[in-house]
């Protein structure tokens, strides 16, 4: 049985750690909201493939982040009151939240690997769904048009993707247009600067780099926010819970 | 004497082939010169053949069929560079687009300007396969392995400690 002084110090440590964890949980909540809002508007690329667990992980992290915040405040109260029943309730609730947050981190990292580990999935999706007249097709077409214009790129790895492989776009528009006109440079009035040059393939009239670098960096950024920051919060909470368990066993 | 004749004979193709029609590449300012139904060919040198009319002959290697196109274009002066008006590659002075080819086929192409014949060049049109029939799973990133392993161990360890601390404090 620890002395009164030792117990008081342990109580102070538990309270401080809980305060820090509450702040970290709130930050996780905010970061996960940023991911779920999807400012770069790339959700259809993961949604259409059926592997949208980066965003599912973000939604879980919204709830676990806020739950960490509330439970840690309860933990400060429970530690101050020095009551065993309250500390036990705190430990059990924190453990349940810990499990959910683990699920969020792991699933986000795994789905990122599937989607953008290499450019195959994104390229196949682009070739199959761009210009297709279905719900998925319209979503993908809208997303790709936005990306090609904003980021000034064409195709997944390069414009050659449109020429090398069969695609829905090619089936619909034949070989008159080797690639979509969104690959062409535009004037500030949004008109295509030189559509004939773009169709021939003059490099001065169109975008020549691929869009995959941008898509990969955005989805990776979302994933690292949810999985790596979530992981660092988990590591802190892990050691904090160990200290809280020691405190719990020392309570009379 | 015979060896001299052989050596001289080896030079004969070079007497005619002082230029060639090459397929355009990224270095020539286009994305690609090879499409599935056409190829973009370089133009004959303007310093020697400006103003001359050009014929083109190509052989389909598979079917062994030769096609000749007469007076397809006139070589422009050297002073006119690549321009941005006009709807075809030839009107922009980039190259000549040989159309109506079959996909995935090899062709042997050469220009004919008067009595001058260019060195033949081999060009293959793109075959356009479907993509993604053999998608391989991308490699797992290190991040995913680290996060999964460490968090799984942490979860397990916490569960054991929770049970132990409950048992110890009630004993």
Tens-digit pLDDT profile for residues A6-65 = 899 999 999 999 999 999 999 999 999 999 999 999 999 999 988 899 999 999 999 999
A·B CB contacts under 8 A:
145
- CB-based contact B128:B38 (threshold 8 Å): no
In chain A, residues with a C-beta closer than 8 Å to the C-beta of B156 are none
Going by the DSSP 8-state scheme, the letter that residue B69 receives in this structure is E
A8 & A101 share domain: yes
- CB-based contact B28:B42 (threshold 8 Å): yes
Tell me, yes or no, whether A220 lies in a domain. no
Across the interface, of A88, A117, A158, the residue whose CB is closest to B139 is A117
- CB-based contact A128:A167 (threshold 8 Å): yes
Residue A228: what pLDDT?
95
| Domain made up of B2-128: CATH architecture | Sandwich (2.60)
Tell me, yes or no, whether A217 lies in a domain. no
The verdict on A96 touching B (C-beta cutoff 8 Å) is no
Across the interface, of A208, A231, A248, the residue whose CB is closest to B165 is A248
A86 & A130 share domain: no
**CA A62 to centroid of chain Cα atoms:** 12
The number of helix segments (H) and strand segments (E) in chain B equals 3, 7
C-alpha closest to that of A75 among A249, A248, A250: A248
A145 & A237 share domain: no
A98 & A11 share domain: yes
Low-confidence ranges of chain B (pLDDT < 70): 5-17, 133-134
In chain A, residues with a C-beta closer than 8 Å to the C-beta of B162 are 91-92, 95, 245
Residue B10: what pLDDT?
58
d(CA A129, CA A165): 13
Handedness of CA A58, A63, A66, A68 (dihedral sign): negative
The verdict on B84 touching A (C-beta cutoff 8 Å) is yes
Residue found by looking up tokens 């007076």 in the block: B71
- CB-based contact A68:A97 (threshold 8 Å): yes
Chain B 99-128, residues with CB within 8 Å of chain A CB atoms = 126, 128
A100 & A171 share domain: no
Tell me, yes or no, whether A43 lies in a domain. no
Strand partners, B53: B74
| Count of domains observed in chain A | 2
Domain limits at A25? 4-38+53-116+226-250
A110 & A10 share domain: yes
The pLDDT of A66-93, averaged and rounded, is 96
A135 & A235 share domain: no
A242 & A151 share domain: no
In B, minimum Cα distance to A114 occurs at B138
Residue found by looking up tokens 């006119």 in the block: B80
Average pLDDT, whole number, for chain A? Answer: 93
Q: What DSSP string describes chain A?
A: ---HHHHHHHHHHHHHHHHHHHHHHHHHHHHHHHHHHTTT--HHHHHHHT--HHHHHHHHHHHHHHHHHHHHHHHHHHHHHT-HHHHHHHHHHHHHHHHHHHHHHHHHHHHHHHHHSSSHHHHHHHHHHTT-SSHHHHHHHHHHHHHHHHHT--SSSSTHHHHHS--HHHHHHTTTSSS-GGGB-B-TTSSBS-HHHHHHTBGGGB--S-SHHHHHHHHHHHHIIIIIHHHHHHHHHHHHHHHHHHHHHH--
Tell me, yes or no, whether A88 lies in a domain. yes
Tell me, yes or no, whether A145 lies in a domain. yes
Residue B14: what pLDDT?
47
Best mean pLDDT range from A166-175, A229-238, B3-12:
A229-238
In B, minimum Cα distance to A206 occurs at B31
A101 & A13 share domain: yes
- CB-based contact B113:A89 (threshold 8 Å): no
Please list, in sequence order, all residues whose beta carbon lies within 8 angstroms of the beta carbon of residue A96, skipping any fewer than 6 positions away: none
ipTM of the modeled complex: 0.86
In B, minimum Cα distance to A100 occurs at B155
Residue B11: what pLDDT?
56
Opening angle at CA B69, ends B66 and B71, nearest 5? 155
């Amino acid at each position: 049985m620890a002395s009164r002084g030792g117990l008081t110090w342990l109580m102070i440590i538990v309270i401080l750690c809980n305060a820090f964890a509450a702040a970290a949980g709130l930050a996780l909540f905010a970061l996960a909201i940023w991911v779920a809002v999807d400012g770069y508007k790339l959700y259809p690329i993961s949604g259409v493939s059926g592997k949208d667990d980066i965003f599912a992980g973000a939604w879980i992290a919204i709830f676990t982040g806020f739950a960490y915040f509330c439970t840690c405040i309860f933990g400060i109260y429970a530690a101050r009151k020095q009551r065993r029943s309250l500390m036990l309730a705190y430990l059990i609730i924190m453990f349940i939240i810990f499990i959910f947050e683990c699920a969020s981190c792991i699933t986000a990292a795994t789905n990122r690997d599937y989607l953008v580990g290499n450019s195959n999935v994104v390229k196949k999706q682009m070739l199959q769904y761009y210009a297709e007249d279905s719900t998925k097709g319209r979503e993908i077409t809208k997303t790709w048009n936005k990306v090609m214009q904003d980021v000034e790129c064409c195709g997944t790895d390069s414009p050659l993707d449109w020429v090398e492989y069969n695609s829905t776009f090619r089936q619909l528009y034949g070989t008159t247009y080797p690639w979509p006109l969104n690959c062409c440079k535009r004037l500030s009035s949004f008109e295509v600067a030189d559509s004939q040059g773009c169709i021939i393939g003059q490099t001065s009239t169109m975008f020549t780099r691929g869009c995959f670098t941008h898509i990969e960096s955005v989805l990776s950024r979302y994933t690292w926010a949810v999985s790596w920051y979530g992981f660092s919060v988990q590591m802190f909470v892990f050691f904090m819970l160990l200290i809280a368990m020691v405190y719990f066993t020392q309570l009379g | 004497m015979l060896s001299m004749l052989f050596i001289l004979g080896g030079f004969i193709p070079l007497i005619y082939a002082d230029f060639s029609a090459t397929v355009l590449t990224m270095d020539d300012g286009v994305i690609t010169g090879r499409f599935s139904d056409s190829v973009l060919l370089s133009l004959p040198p303007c310093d020697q053949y400006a103003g001359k009319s050009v014929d083109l002959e190509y052989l389909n290697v598979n079917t062994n069929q030769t096609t000749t196109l007469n007076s397809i274009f006139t070589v422009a002066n050297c002073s006119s560079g690549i321009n941005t008006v006009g709807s075809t590659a030839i009107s922009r002075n980039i190259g000549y687009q040989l159309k109506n080819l079959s996909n995935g086929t090899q062709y042997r192409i050469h220009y004919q300007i008067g009595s001058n014949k260019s060195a033949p060049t081999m060009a293959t049109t793109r075959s356009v396969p479907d993509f993604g029939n053999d998608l391989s799973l991308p490699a797992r990133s290190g991040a995913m392995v680290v996060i999964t392993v460490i968090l799984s161990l942490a979860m397990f360890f916490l569960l054991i400690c929770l049970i132990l601390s409950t048992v110890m404090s009630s004993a």
